[in-house]
Amino acid sequence: MNFSKHTTNKKLRSLNSNHKKVTTLIGTSFVRILVFAVVLVAVGGIAAGIGIANAIFDSAPEVDFESMIPEGYTSFIKDQNGNVLRELSIGDANRIYVEIDQIPQHVQDAFIVIEDERFYEHNGIDMRGIFRAIFVNFQSGDLSEGASTLTQQVIKNNVLSTEKSFERKIQEQYLAVQAEKALEKDEILELYLNTAALGRGTHGVQAAATRYFSKDVSELTVAEAAVIASITQRPTYYDPVINPENNRERQLIILQYLYNAEKITREELTYAVAEDVYGHIQVVNQEFEANSDYTYFVDEAIRRVRDDLKTKGYLANQATNLIYRGGLSIYITQDLEMQAVLDNAFANEDNFPTFEDDYNAYLQYSMSVSKNDGSIEHYYKDVVLPSDEDVEQEMANLKAEWVQEGETILSENHFVIPQPQAAMVVMDYYTGHVKAMVSGRGDKIGNNIFDRATQAKRQPGSTFKVLAAYLPAIDTMGFTLGDVYDDVPYTIDVPGSGPYTPNNWYNTKTSAYNFWGLSTIREGIQWSMNLLAIKTIADIGIDTGFDYLKRLGFTTLIEKEERNGQIFTDKVISLPLGGVTDGVTLIELTAAYGAIANGGVYTEPIFYTKVLNHDGSILLLKEPESHTVMKETTSFLLTNAMEDVVRSGTATPAKFDGMHIAGKTGTTSDSKDLAFIGYTPYYIAGIWMGHDQPEKMKHDKSYHKILWGNVMSELHVDLEDREFPMPEGIVRVSICTESGLRPVEGLCDNDPRGSTIRSEYFVQGTQPKDSCDVHISATVCETSGFFPTEFCPEEVLVDKVFIARREPLIPENWDPEDPPRIKDYEFEIPASMEGEFCPIHGHEELAPPIQLDEFGNPIIEEPTEGDPLSPEPIVELD
Ligand SMILES: [Zn+2]
Ligand SMILES: [Zn+2]
């Protein structure tokens, strides 16, 4: 097909003569006007006049029906320097268009009986079909489905947009009548049989015959023709590879229709019903997938070119023709050397959980066998097995079952897809260029398969803590990395959904502490602390967090949506923990962090930069969409905090020498998805690991971080280490990490755990001015560790530093069976004075020597009430 500017101009010119044709049409056929009026009334429910119909006809595009026959030039994938990386073709590009006399009669008939039984009688629209459809769709008043003649479908496939509007339907009918005037029935049928969408990216019967049966269309049997004709209305539902049962139902209907219409004999019907076509389809499918060698990257680049062509108004069929037969040059952003590093790392089994840790294998095995009785049998089986040895054994067993003595194997294919799976994408966050991508390990089966890096929607987990909570808090709400939240038992009452009690990842039965007490936002990022993120978003508002995510380029988040009567939304308090309705893609997650890496400017990830036509003119120019999401200072602070994640936090396995690295881990609470997004001053890379069918990971959850580090260290081997750039307006001041305020000498530096004074970065003006109010000093008896009484000797009295929370803990509310184990609780000043005084020193004459119990602790006798000698407490607090 010719999409050159010249043709467009020609089309535009002829559009002007449109009106005259309409007049002629209306003048010659009163009946036809009546028909359109009836349709308008029936569907729209309003009385529409000829004027409206006229306007709709006028806006219909003028069509050069002769130009629909596609041209045949090989297209090329090229790198940024114009070197050809590979050729694109579906079969033999030049011969895939077949003329009507090359298409067997039973193939033509199979489509006609199911799609348009009065094809040879009507003039483009089928009134009986329309009235039947109106009747069938009466309740919904929807005429957009069904009742389409083959002629209308030719218009739909080649001319009009796919939107289902009433106007488009009327235009389609009008143009169908025009097409019938311009072309012979056979020419229309030929166009239809060459352009109909037949699943798996195929358009036309020749492509489908090759894809499903590995033969020329002229060789298709009646049974095979019926399989292909079944696909057209719902290509996925009737996909004979993945939904053979659905396809079989429709295939039988077509065979029955063919017999009823006396297109085939009773013997042919019986033979066709008995033919084993679906086994053959599986075998051919495996052969096709084994022979397809487009990389994940090229697949994605083609998908994006196709999508962008559609955005520019091309139909799916036109876009596919153009890509594979238009002689295009597609310039992709891939760096082959970087790609090789990723490919090698993913091919190395040492980078993945071992068999003992976490492994199983998904086997797909197929075979065609020439049997001893002269028939040909096709076999296929897929099964999940615990080890590679089991795979070998299963294949041997199946082979023994399928092939008997003296029989010949005609073809044999197998794939092994190991689990857990992984995907990784490397991007230049300045330009948006995706440099390398691997979307799986083990066999890549087929072209344009479901992509784990760009299409799979998985849970982002803790990676959302930074994006949904801390980023917006710092960027708009004046939060700082030094702000302190208390990681203690916490329940928040959420309007509309009731109380919510978040849990920490370290809240396990065996952990020493299940709450870490007073912590800064920096520590919250470093250690991926759930409660800090939840408390932050509770303070800034869920809407604020959600809005930032949208601006960071996520397209799969749900604001509010009804599905099967249930309302879904991702605007929930737990949003920072990254459990969202549909999940997010790895590429979008990586690009979102790219905005932080890139000084706050989001840059859309792109896979190609331009597409040139056969004649060298520009068809598509890809400029990545780019916009500022956050202040440069915000991005600096977050990057600086995320350096701690890699240096000493949750991502230390990803660390490699000689480069500044920042990043954030993402683990879902159920451990079904593991992610790490990390970046250097040069590149950003995201990695995901998980099972294709989500299940809890059994391994220790560090493989993906190590793999990330291995790949990135190799990609940076010749690059000079440098710091992440610090923008203007950043100051560095000392704070106390218990209060987030200015440290007090003698207190904050004397915390019993060691000094809590740290140097922290602030946006000028947000640094604290007040002094620490959490640390306090009190005099205690060194012997007992409690407050002294009048009997404690002077020499054992010492000043000790405690923390005193602004919001005191309330141990009375704790479950006495399972009290929270709070890390800093022992450094808290005793909540209750009573009973916390030194019980060791007393009146010498009356106090017996201290007895020790079996653990070496003093055995204390309670003083009797009213005892005149019971010690009087003295308390000094600073
Ligand atoms: Zn302090
Ligand atoms: Zn004492």
For residue 71, which amino acid is it? Answer: E
| The predicted structure's pLDDT at residue 8 | 33
CA 747 to chain centre: 49
In the predicted structure, residue 826 carries a pLDDT above the cut 90: no
Q: Which long-range contacts (CB under 8 A, 24 or more apart) does 227-233 make?
A: 227/251, 227/277, 227/278, 227/281, 228/107, 228/110, 228/198, 229/107, 229/110, 229/111, 229/114, 229/115, 229/254, 230/114, 230/254, 231/198, 231/199, 232/111, 232/115, 232/196, 232/197, 232/198, 233/115
Average pLDDT over residues 196-215: 86
| The predicted structure's pLDDT at residue 853 | 73
What band does 671 get if pLDDT is binned at 50, 70 and 90? confident
The H or E element containing residue 492 is strand 492-494
- DSSP, collapsed to helix, strand or coil, labels residue 556 as coil
- Residue bearing the bigger pLDDT, 701 or 575: 575
Q: What is the pLDDT of residues 12-22, one digit of tens each?
A: 333 333 333 33
Residue whose pair of structure tokens reads 């604290």 in the numeric block: 768
Decide: 395 and 414 in contact? Cβ < 8 Å: yes
Q: How far is CA 241 from CA 238, 244, 278, 288, in A?
A: 9, 6, 8, 12
Contact residues for 737 (Cβ-Cβ < 8 A; gap 6+): 482, 484, 518, 519, 520, 523, 756, 757, 758
* Ligand closest to the CA atom of residue 748: 1
Q: What is the pLDDT of residues 833-863, one digit of tens each?
A: 445 778 888 755 444 555 667 776 766 555 4
Give distance in angstroms: CA of 754 to centre of ligand 2: 24
Give distance in angstroms: CA of 839 to centre of ligand 2: 7
User: Tokens in use for 505?
Assistant: 């990842």
User: Angle of helix 586-597 relative to helix 632-648, nearest 10 degrees?
Assistant: 110
User: Tokens in use for 836?
Assistant: 């916390």
Burial class (CB in 10 A: 0-12, 13-18, 19+), 35: middle
What band does 145 get if pLDDT is binned at 50, 70 and 90? very low
Burial class (CB in 10 A: 0-12, 13-18, 19+), 448: middle
Q: For the chain, give the number of residues.
A: 878
* Ligand closest to the CA atom of residue 838: 2
* Ligand closest to the CA atom of residue 758: 1
The H or E element containing residue 500 is strand 498-500
For residue 506, which amino acid is it? Answer: Y
Q: Whole-angstrom Cα distance, residue 297 to residue 438?
A: 8
Decide: 837 and 787 in contact? Cβ < 8 Å: yes
What band does 62 get if pLDDT is binned at 50, 70 and 90? low
The alpha carbon dihedral of 573, 577, 579, 581 has a sign of: positive
Q: Whole-angstrom Cα distance, residue 787 to residue 112?
A: 97
User: 449: how many CB neighbours lie within 10 A of its CB?
Assistant: 16
- Residue bearing the bigger pLDDT, 146 or 448: 448
Q: Which long-range contacts (CB under 8 A, 24 or more apart) does 394-397 make?
A: 394/363, 394/365, 395/363, 395/365
Q: What is the pLDDT of residues 75-115, one digit of tens each?
A: 889 998 888 888 886 554 444 678 899 999 999 999 999 99
Residue whose pair of structure tokens reads 């709070």 in the numeric block: 822
Task: Say whether the peptide bond before residue 420 is cis (omega within 30 degrees of 0).
Answer: yes
Q: Whole-angstrom Cα distance, residue 446 to residue 289?
A: 4
**Which phi and psi (to 5°) does residue 797 adopt?**
-80, 125
| The predicted structure's pLDDT at residue 791 | 87
Residues with CB under 5 Å of ion ligand 1 are: 736, 738-739, 748, 772, 775
Give distance in angstroms: CA of 837 to centre of ligand 2: 8
Of the candidates 454, 95, 92, 88, the residue with the CA atom closest to the CA atom of residue 293: 88
Q: Whole-angstrom Cα distance, residue 713 to residue 848?
A: 69
- What's the N-to-C CA distance of the chain in angstroms? 87
pTM of the model: 0.76
* Ligand closest to the CA atom of residue 783: 2
Residue 115 CB-half CA count within 13 A: 27
* Ligand closest to the CA atom of residue 874: 2
In the predicted structure, residue 124 carries a pLDDT above the cut 90: no
Q: Whole-angstrom Cα distance, residue 339 to residue 347?
A: 12
User: Tokens in use for 498?
Assistant: 């009731």
Q: Whole-angstrom Cα distance, residue 379 to residue 842?
A: 91
- DSSP, collapsed to helix, strand or coil, labels residue 607 as coil
Partner residues linked to 518 by β-bridges: 486
> Strand runs (DSSP E) across 618-722, as ranges?
618-621, 626-628, 662-667, 673-679, 684-690
Give distance in angstroms: CA of 789 to centre of ligand 2: 6
Give distance in angstroms: CA of 797 to centre of ligand 2: 8
| The predicted structure's pLDDT at residue 138 | 55
Average pLDDT over residues 639-643: 98
Could you give the percent of the chain with pLDDT greater than 90? 53
Q: Whole-angstrom Cα distance, residue 16 to residue 62?
A: 9
Q: Of 169-173, 272-276, 510-514, 618-622, which gets the smallest average pLDDT? A: 169-173
Which of 129-143, 282-296, 502-516 has the highest mean predicted lDDT (pLDDT)? 502-516
User: Tokens in use for 182?
Assistant: 């311009």
User: 98: how many CB neighbours lie within 10 A of its CB?
Assistant: 20
Q: What is the pLDDT of residues 35-46, one digit of tens each?
A: 554 554 445 444
Decide: 508 and 514 in contact? Cβ < 8 Å: yes
Residue whose pair of structure tokens reads 């509309």 in the numeric block: 496
Give distance in angstroms: CA of 779 to centre of ligand 2: 11
What band does 476 get if pLDDT is binned at 50, 70 and 90? very high
Partner residues linked to 427 by β-bridges: 434, 684
In the predicted structure, residue 674 carries a pLDDT above the cut 80: yes
In the predicted structure, residue 163 carries a pLDDT above the cut 60: no
Decide: 602 and 554 in contact? Cβ < 8 Å: no
Give distance in angstroms: CA of 513 to centre of ligand 1: 22
Give distance in angstroms: CA of 517 to centre of ligand 2: 29
Average pLDDT over residues 721-729: 96
Give distance in angstroms: CA of 801 to centre of ligand 1: 10
CA 81 to chain centre: 31
Of the candidates 602, 608, 607, 609, the residue with the CA atom closest to the CA atom of residue 625: 602
Q: Whole-angstrom Cα distance, residue 619 to residue 451?
A: 26
In the predicted structure, residue 655 carries a pLDDT above the cut 90: yes
Give distance in angstroms: CA of 792 to centre of ligand 1: 28
Decide: 283 and 378 in contact? Cβ < 8 Å: yes
| The predicted structure's pLDDT at residue 53 | 55
* Ligand closest to the CA atom of residue 790: 2
Average pLDDT over residues 581-608: 97
Q: Whole-angstrom Cα distance, residue 632 to residue 35?
A: 64
| The predicted structure's pLDDT at residue 368 | 87
| The predicted structure's pLDDT at residue 336 | 92
Average pLDDT over residues 148-159: 84
User: Tokens in use for 319?
Assistant: 């876009």
User: 94: how many CB neighbours lie within 10 A of its CB?
Assistant: 13
What band does 49 get if pLDDT is binned at 50, 70 and 90? very low
Average pLDDT over residues 219-227: 96
What band does 172 get if pLDDT is binned at 50, 70 and 90? confident
For residue 292, which amino acid is it? Answer: S
Q: What is the pLDDT of residues 734-775, one digit of tens each?
A: 999 999 999 999 999 999 999 999 999 999 999 999 999 999
| The predicted structure's pLDDT at residue 71 | 58
Give distance in angstroms: CA of 741 to centre of ligand 1: 7
**Which residue intervals of 358-510 are DSSP H helices?**
388-402, 463-464, 471-476
Give distance in angstroms: CA of 506 to centre of ligand 1: 25
Mean pLDDT (the chain) is 84
| The predicted structure's pLDDT at residue 136 | 61
Give distance in angstroms: CA of 751 to centre of ligand 2: 21
Q: How far is CA 354 from CA 232, 532, 654, 659, 693, in A?
A: 45, 35, 19, 29, 19
Q: What is the pLDDT of residues 255-296, one digit of tens each?
A: 999 999 999 999 999 999 999 899 889 888 888 777 666 789
**Which phi and psi (to 5°) does residue 441 adopt?**
-115, 160
In the predicted structure, residue 545 carries a pLDDT above the cut 90: yes
Give distance in angstroms: CA of 796 to centre of ligand 2: 7
Could you give the percent of the chain with pLDDT greater than 70? 83
Average pLDDT over residues 211-223: 92
Q: What is the pLDDT of residues 371-420, one digit of tens each?
A: 999 888 888 888 989 888 899 999 999 999 999 999 999 888 888 889 99
User: Tokens in use for 156?
Assistant: 């739909």
Average pLDDT over residues 683-695: 92
Decide: 449 and 455 in contact? Cβ < 8 Å: no
Average pLDDT over residues 822-835: 74
Q: Of 441-445, 515-519, 658-662, which gets the smallest average pLDDT? A: 441-445
| The predicted structure's pLDDT at residue 133 | 65
Q: Whole-angstrom Cα distance, residue 579 to residue 500?
A: 14
Q: How far is CA 747 from CA 209, 484, 776, 778, in A?
A: 82, 18, 7, 10
DSSP class per residue in 782-835: TTTSSB-BTTS-GGGEEEEEEE--SS---GGGS-TTS---BTTGGGBPPS--TT
User: Angle of helix 50-59 relative to helix 18-28, nearest 10 degrees?
Assistant: 140
| The predicted structure's pLDDT at residue 56 | 58
| The predicted structure's pLDDT at residue 614 | 84
Burial class (CB in 10 A: 0-12, 13-18, 19+), 64: middle
Which is it for strands 601-603 and 608-612: parallel, antiparallel or unpaired?
unpaired
| The predicted structure's pLDDT at residue 55 | 61
| The predicted structure's pLDDT at residue 18 | 34
- Residue bearing the bigger pLDDT, 423 or 44: 423
The H or E element containing residue 364 is strand 360-370
Give distance in angstroms: CA of 853 to centre of ligand 2: 18
In the predicted structure, residue 10 carries a pLDDT above the cut 60: no
